[in-house]
Structure formats: structure tokens, C-alpha cells
Amino acid sequence: MSSSPLAATLDVELRPDRPAILHVDSPGDAPGWAARYRESLRAQVTEHGALVVRGLDLRDPSSAGAVFAELAGGLMTEREAFAPREAYAPGLYASTAWPANQPMCMHHELSYALEVPGLMLFACLTAPERGGATAVADAGQVLQALPEELTARFEREGWLLTRSYNDEIGASLAESFGTDDRAGIEAYCRANAIDFAWQPDGSLRTRQRRAAVVRHPVTGARCWFNQVAFLNEWTLAPEVREYLVDEYGVDGLPFNTRYGDGSPIGEDVVQLLNATYDRHTRREPWQAGDLMLVDNIRTAHSREPFDGERQVVVGMAEPRRLDDSCATPEANRR
């Protein structure tokens, strides 16, 4: 059990295979409770990287949003989304639209953006019948577990995200950039170190290089911070990858990742990354009403396959512009 001040009034459950869990009796006024315990809750997130609060009985987007606001203040507007999601209110979203039978592998939210959320907030309004956990993994532990030769290359070069926007797969231009106006999109790309090229058919392709290893802005700890594996072609289900390659070609995939110098990342490397995440995964099945807070830089998160209805509300907060973001789009013009 934790020895923090919060533990004197709340049951803090710590197990090696799960995120930290706080059990509370329904306070009735969940936003008021969140405001009262804000500093203690945030201290737990700093200490453990992720925290589940069970017992707040969050049942609708408005109550979840009110709790998010007390814990984090203003919520971020998502930009550069790779898949569409419903917005309930400014900064308050449904979880990303993704097939229920396909996992969303471990990643750090928007790690390819110049300004990343330091804090992720989740609330489960409806728990699935089976599966669907938002699992977590410690980015420092993952970094230490990976082969030094591999991490040294990524630390030296960073990683490259390539995207092809079309009207069929993934988020639309308006969903990603907040506008479908070409001039507005180009201005956003220039301001955010993204190379762009309009194709003859009117579609857009982009490239952006970012750091794969960063130092946590609060603790200074080195973290494996990226979406190298999650957004790589080899993480896709084989039949999905085959269809997309046949339809769009390797260079026209909706998203893909490469080494920072532009070289392809082999299937063996992607399998190694995902296997390392698997060995460091902690999970707690959702229960309706749960709140979960995740330090987005220290802690990767995933969404596991599920059966039944699953409704999870998401907020992003505390924007951070990391000093070691490797934003050098000039290096991408090859």
C-alpha cells in the first residue's frame, strides 16, 4: 500500500500486473471530490505513471467532462488525428473509432505532434462484456528492455511518420487539421515542422520526423516515447496490410513509420517492439464509472480487443513542447 497522504483516506491498491487503483465510495458530487483531491491524485500519477479511480460512478459525458476540468483545467483540441472520433464538447472526445476485434497497440498519444498532451484522462461510461482494457506500460522500463543498439539508432535519428490522406481510410483533412482549406493546412504544416506534398488527385502526403527517446519534462527520466510500432505497416493485421498495399501502394499507406533517415523498419523490429510492450503491460478491466489518469510521456497506453458495447470518454491536457522533439523537416526532403 502507498504511504502518501491520499492513502490515509482512500484505498490505494498496488500490484505489479495492474495500474495503481484507488477505491472510493461514490461521493455524489464527483467534480467536487475531484477538486478536493486534485493535488493528491496528480501526485499518484507522478509516482505511478497511471491511476484508476473506481467508485466515482461517471455515467455520462457531461459528468466525466466536469471531473476532467477539475483535475486538469483546460482540455486540448486534438489535431493530426489518425482516425475519426466524436466530440462531445470542446476537448472532450469519444475513444478513437477502431475495429473492436483489432487491438490498438501501445503508444503515446500524439507523440508525432510538436505539442503533446502531458496528461490523458479516460472515463468508462459503459464497460464492454469482455476485453477492451486501456492497458499501460512504463516507457522507462520499455526503453531499458530494448536492445541498446536499436535504441541508440532511434535516439540518434529519431523516427519518421508518413501519412497519406484520402477520402476512404483514416481521418479526413478537416478532422486532422481543423480545416479542409489548402492554405490553412499548409500554414499548419509549416508551423508544425511537417513536410507536405499535394498529389495530382488532390490527396495529401506528409512526412514528419520526431524523437523516439525523450526526457520527461518533470522527472528528467529517459522515456521510449513514440508510435513507431503502433503506426507501422507490420502492426496491421496481415489481411488489412495486404489490402491497403494492393489498393494504395507501400508509399500511399494511410500511415507508416520509418527510421529517422527514411529507411524502412523491418517486420522483425516491429515484432520486437510489440513483444517488449507486452512483457511490460499492466491492465485492469474497465468497470462502468471508472476514471483513469495517465502520464502520457512516462506511460504508453493501448486499447485491447473487446466484445459488446464500450463507451470511453477521453480528454487530453497539459500540452508539452518537448525540447528534444527532433523536428527537422529539412532532413526529410530527400
Whether 145 shows a pLDDT value over 90: the answer reads: yes
Query: What is the pLDDT, as a whole number, of residue 208?
Result: 97
Partnered with residue 306 across adjacent β-strands are: 131
What value does the mean pLDDT take over residues 122-144? 97
Query: What is the pLDDT, as a whole number, of residue 35?
Result: 96
Quick check: 1 and 33 in contact, CB under 8 A?
no
Q: Are residues 288 and 164 in the same domain?
A: no
Q: Are residues 307 and 256 in the same domain?
A: no
Nearest to 13 by CA among 55, 40, 51: 51
Query: What is the pLDDT, as a whole number, of residue 323?
Result: 67
Q: Are residues 257 and 213 in the same domain?
A: yes
pLDDT band at 130 (very low <50, low <70, confident <90, very high): very high
Q: What angle do CA 202, 241, 260 make, to 5 degrees?
A: 70
Q: List Cβ neighbours of 274 (8 Å cut-off, separation of 6 or more).
A: 105, 106, 229, 235
The pTM of the full predicted model, rounded to 2 decimals, is 0.92
pLDDT band at 27 (very low <50, low <70, confident <90, very high): confident
Query: What is the pLDDT, as a whole number, of residue 9?
Result: 53
Report the alpha-carbon distance of residue 285 to residue 290 in Å, rounded. Answer: 10
Q: Are residues 114 and 177 in the same domain?
A: no
Report the alpha-carbon distance of residue 316 to residue 37 in Å, rounded. Answer: 19
Q: Are residues 135 and 234 in the same domain?
A: no
Q: Are residues 154 and 207 in the same domain?
A: yes
Q: Are residues 168 and 212 in the same domain?
A: yes
Query: What is the pLDDT, as a whole number, of residue 214?
Result: 97
What cell does 175 get?
A: 478532422
What is the per-residue pLDDT across 87-106, written as a single tens digit (0 to 9) for each?
999 999 999 888 899 899 99
Query: What is the pLDDT, as a whole number, of residue 325?
Result: 52
Q: Are residues 211 and 310 in the same domain?
A: no
Q: Are residues 23 and 42 in the same domain?
A: yes
Whether 12 shows a pLDDT value over 90: the answer reads: no
Cα distance between the two ends of the chain: 54
Cell match 478537416: residue?
A: 174
Quick check: 120 and 294 in contact, CB under 8 A?
yes
What is the per-residue pLDDT across 277-327, written as a single tens digit (0 to 9) for each?
999 999 999 999 999 999 999 999 999 999 999 999 999 999 999 865 555
Report the alpha-carbon distance of residue 219 to residue 299 in Å, rounded. Answer: 13
**What CATH number did the domain enclosing 218 receive?**
3.60.130.10
Q: Are residues 268 and 288 in the same domain?
A: no
Q: Range of 177's domain?
A: 143-275+325-332
What value does the mean pLDDT take over residues 232-254? 90
pLDDT, greater one: 84 or 17 = 17
What is the per-residue pLDDT across 29-70, written as a single tens digit (0 to 9) for each?
999 999 999 999 999 999 999 999 999 999 999 999 999 999
What cell does 278 get?
A: 507486452
Q: Are residues 40 and 122 in the same domain?
A: yes
What is the per-residue pLDDT across 73-88, written as a single tens digit (0 to 9) for each?
899 999 999 888 999 9
Report the alpha-carbon distance of residue 27 to residue 328 in Å, rounded. Answer: 49
The total number of structural domains in the chain stands at: 2
Q: Are residues 183 and 77 in the same domain?
A: no
pLDDT band at 332 (very low <50, low <70, confident <90, very high): very low
